[in-house]
Every structure is written in structure tokens, then in C-alpha cells.
């Protein structure tokens, strides 16, 4: 099954995605990881990405969409995709629809981890210490959250009409969120 985990930076999408990968033998498609990998490789795209991330901006849809295509069309990942942080815009949501249709796939579940700004700030401060993430300074956190709210509200509206859309209180403890997701998946 293919799943989208949707929510602001620091909502716990990555944590839940890692759990679902193990539970469902799936493949985590984290745009953050894909983008950080490009940065590590020090490619031209990686340099553009780091400039955007450091300014608290999202990376352009064209870059993200092109990097994502290989994962969706990978026959070993077909029907086992756990999207973590994608799509973040209407353009990306439409691109994902096209890619999935072209590869005879669909989204089975969409989970929106709804978390307020104050909780996100506290979580990301902790994550910066634990994971030593360079993109987790306070100013960047606030910019990323505000950008998220501004650009993803239409995506939330786009998906919330679907019968497979489920909103979960992302401020709950990790295991409580996991239990909610499991209840919807019946696993």
C-alpha cells in the first residue's frame, strides 16, 4: 500500500514513516532525505537546495518532482511507498497523481499529523540536539513552519475531501500516534 504522511516540519512524519517501513516492508520516500543526499553529493542541484533550506524556503517543485520520479517508478518500491513530507504544494500533489497513474499505483491512506507551532518549535529544538541537523535553527524553524502553513493549506484542502484522509493529533506521544495509524490500517 502507498501512504502519505502529511504535516508541518517536526510533526513526526519521519518517525512514523520509519515505523511503517518496518511494519509494512515499505520504502520511505523522504524529500528531506533525498534533498540532503543531493547536498552531500555537492551537486549543482544540492547547492541550490542548501541555499533554499538555509533561507527557510521550500525547494522548487521542479527539483523535488524530478528527484522523486525515480523512486515512484522503481519496480522494487511499487505499492510500498511511504511518502514523508511530499507533496507540499498543489503542483507536487498533481505531479504525484500523474506519476502514480502512469505507474498504475494509487494512494491508499493519507495521514495528516496536525501540530501547532509552539509544539513544533520545542520538538525541533530537541531534534537539533539529538540529530545535529544543520537546518534546525530557531529562525529557520519559524520560517519553515510559516512557509508550510502558507503553501500547504491548499494541499490539505486538496486531500481532506478524500475518504482515505485521516487527521491525527500530532501533539500526542509517538506510540499513541502509531496506534492511531495502525487502527486505520487494520494492522
Show the cell assigned to 57. 524556503
B/e letters for 31-62, b = 16+ CB within 10 Å, e = fewer, are bbebbbebbeeeeebbebbbeebeebebbebe
109 within a domain of the structure (yes/no): yes
What burial class does residue 28 get, using C-beta atoms within 10 Å of its C-beta: 0-12 exposed, 13-18 middle, 19+ buried? buried
> Is the bond preceding residue 149 a cis peptide, omega within 30 degrees?
no
**In this predicted model, what pLDDT tens digit does every residue of 8-46 receive, in sequence order?**
877 889 899 999 999 999 999 988 788 888 899 998 989
130 within a domain of the structure (yes/no): yes
State yes or no: pLDDT of 133 exceeds 70: no
Provide φ and ψ at 104, rounded to 5°.
55, 45
**In this predicted model, what pLDDT tens digit does every residue of 145-182 receive, in sequence order?**
888 888 888 899 999 999 999 999 999 999 999 999 99
The CATH number of the domain holding residue 97 is 3.40.50.300
187 within a domain of the structure (yes/no): no
Domain count, the chain: 1
Residue 107 pLDDT grade (very low, low, confident, very high; cuts 50, 70, 90): very high
99 within a domain of the structure (yes/no): yes
146 within a domain of the structure (yes/no): yes
Q: Are 158 and 90 contacting, i.e. CB atoms less than 8 angstroms apart?
A: yes
Q: Are 41 and 97 contacting, i.e. CB atoms less than 8 angstroms apart?
A: no
Query: In whole numbers, what is the pLDDT of the chain averaged over residues?
Result: 88
Predicted structure pTM score: 0.84
Q: Are 73 and 141 contacting, i.e. CB atoms less than 8 angstroms apart?
A: no
Domain that holds residue 83: 3-182
Amino acid at each position: 500500500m502507498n501512504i502519505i504522511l502529511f504535516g508541518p516540519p517536526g510533526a513526526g512524519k519521519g518517525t512514523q514513516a520509519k515505523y511503517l517501513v518496518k511494519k509494512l516492508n515499505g520504502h520511505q520516500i523522504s524529500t528531506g532525505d533525498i534533498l540532503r543526499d543531493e547536498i552531500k553529493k555537492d551537486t549543482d542541484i544540492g547547492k541550490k537546495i542548501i541555499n533554499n533550506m538555509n533561507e527557510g524556503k521550500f525547494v522548487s517543485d521542479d527539483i523535488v518532482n524530478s528527484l522523486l520520479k525515480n523512486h515512484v517508478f522503481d519496480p522494487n518500491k511499487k505499492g510500498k511507498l511511504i511518502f514523508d513530507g511530499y507533496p507540499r504544494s498543489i503542483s507536487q500533489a498533481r505531479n504525484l497523481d500523474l506519476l502514480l497513474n502512469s505507474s498504475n499505483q494509487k494512494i491508499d491512506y493519507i495521514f495528516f499529523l496536525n501540530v501547532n507551532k509552539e509544539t513544533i518549535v520545542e520538538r525541533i529544538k530537541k531534534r537539533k540536539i539529538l540529530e545535529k541537523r544543520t537546518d534546525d535553527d530557531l529562525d529557520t524553524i519559524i520560517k519553515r513552519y510559516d512557509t508550510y502553513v502558507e503553501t500547504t493549506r491548499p494541499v490539505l484542502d486538496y486531500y481532506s475531501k478524500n475518504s482515505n484522509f485521516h487527521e491525527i493529533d500530532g501533539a500526542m506521544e509517538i506510540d499513541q500516534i502509531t496506534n492511531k495509524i495502525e487502527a486505520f490500517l487494520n494492522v
